[in-house]
Amino acid sequence: MSGGYFGGPSGSVDTSHTVVASLAAAGFDASDEHEPTGEAATEEPGGCLILAVRFLTAITLTAADFDAPWAGGLCDTASY
């Protein structure tokens, strides 16, 4: 999906699922043509990943959010 389309044959994607429908609304392509449209029609796969995160979580990330090293959750050594 990071290229603006869903992997696998189009029959394997449940387009009625709310998550898939949300991503399709952003332009991710669930067809065999693999032609993203709208916001998903970006040149950079990383941009599609950031877009997918925004549509799935309502959190807006930018490339700058990935500049510095970070750790979280169980691997967060800063809190030990």
pLDDT score, position 40: 87
Domain ranges of the chain: 1-63
Average pLDDT, the chain: 76
Residue from 66, 68, 15, 42 nearest 52 by CA: 42
End-to-end C-alpha distance for the chain, whole angstroms: 36
pLDDT score, position 67: 75
Q: What are the pLDDT digits (tens) for 2-34?
A: 566 676 665 678 888 888 888 888 888 877 777
Cα–Cα dist 13/34, whole Å: 13
Say what angle helices 45-57 and 18-25 make with each other, to 10 degrees: 130
SS3 29: strand
